[in-house]
Amino acid sequence: MLNFFTRDQLNQYCSIRDGEQRLGQALNLPDPALNLAEQLAQSKAEGCRFVLLGVPEDIGPRANLGQGGADKGWTAFLSKFVNLQSNHFIAAGQILLLGGIQCADLQQQASTFDVSQPQQLSQLRQLVEVLDHRVATVVQTIFDAGLLPVVIGGGHNNSYPIIKALSQASGQQVNCANLDPHSDFRPLEGRHSGNGFSYAWQDGMLKHYFVLGLHELKNSAATLAQLQQAGGEFCSYQRIFVRQELNYQQALDQCIDNVVLGNGDIGIEVDTDSISLMPVSAFTNCGISVQAAELFVYQLAKLPRSRYLHLAEAAPVQHPAGLAAGINEAGQVLSALVLAFMQGKKDQAIAI
């Protein structure tokens, strides 16, 4: 279910320069002689705190009748992150570059399906369920080891198996903060990128849920009704930036106040569709800035009960200037958000 990252792979991404140390030269790689649980136990004993995990798939967005390309988000991230400078601003020794979920076989099967055919669309959504199992199994092992997973790439369908993994590892319901123009509370019509949270709620794994930056006209009436029924809350993009009923920090404070309710662990979810001009599955130029997204991640990461970061939907191929431009931009943004999470954990607040 998991392909460990290797030194040879790292060398394909990392550019070496005399007199400098790149982040890729300083972070930790898995030992192929160990199984996953052994690897994570050893990494924690050696001081690791963060586990980087890729999900190179775009099955979920296509099962939601959306655009493909999210399978390249992980490689875009790697191309930029490992070439950042290793210095005192980041503890590279706390990072394990674990690898990627095995998705190639599912991607190959998915490529043969025509979503305009109801039966084939149903089969595509069944593949998402197979992916759910793979992601949940690996991520729960990370949680069980007491480490913080940073999950990158793929569609927002992967929110469901991550929430499931955290709920099972903690033995309680999970609270989630989601920076997203969509609530992802679509009907339970078969698994896809638009209903990860509605399935998590239906299965009793999701408690307090807050969507920051929801776009008022990108969510159906049925979806909003289901969100309300589940007790989910949101602060819309229009309320913050158009009508200016409150500023962004006030909206972020509302989000934080909601997800710290109760005792459940907290998930930090970012659909990169929320960021203006980001190459994503659902492109927008009516979104927030990269800096606003970084602030969201940083402030949520400072909460002691926040247990993971999930960055979804980056699709470099959707950049209007082509794949190379998309990899460059997506890689920079994803890296910035990961660094914001790590900085937030470094500056973690007193327990709330």
Mean pLDDT per 10-residue interval, the chain, length 352 residues: 95 91 95 97 97 98 95 97 95 97 97 96 98 98 98 98 98 98 96 98 98 96 96 98 98 98 97 95 86 98 98 94 94 98 88 45
pLDDT at residue 284 in the model: 80
Characterize 295-309 residue by residue with b for buried, 16 or more Cβ atoms within 10 angstroms of its Cβ, and e for exposed: bbbbbbbbbebbbbb
Question: Which residue type occupies 271?
Answer: D
Radius of gyration of the chain (CA): 19
pLDDT at residue 351 in the model: 46
pLDDT at residue 349 in the model: 57
Report how far apart, in Å, the C-alpha atoms of 195 and of each of 157, 223, 232, 312, 315 are.
Answer: 7, 9, 14, 14, 19
The answer to whether 71 touches 103, Cβ cutoff 8 Å, is yes
Characterize 220-244 residue by residue with b for buried, 16 or more Cβ atoms within 10 angstroms of its Cβ, and e for exposed: eeebbebbeebebbbbbbbbbbeee
Q: Kindly report whether the global pTM for this prediction surpasses the value 0.75.
A: yes
Show me where the domains of the chain are located.
Answer: 2-346
Pairing of strands 174-179, 206-214: parallel
190 by Cβ neighbours in 10 Å (0-12 / 13-18 / 19+) ranks as middle
Class of domain 2-346: alpha beta
pLDDT at residue 352 in the model: 44
Mark residue 102 as left, alpha or beta (left: phi above 0; alpha: psi -120 to 50; beta: remaining): beta
The answer to whether 94 touches 49, Cβ cutoff 8 Å, is yes
Residue for token digits 């920076």? 179
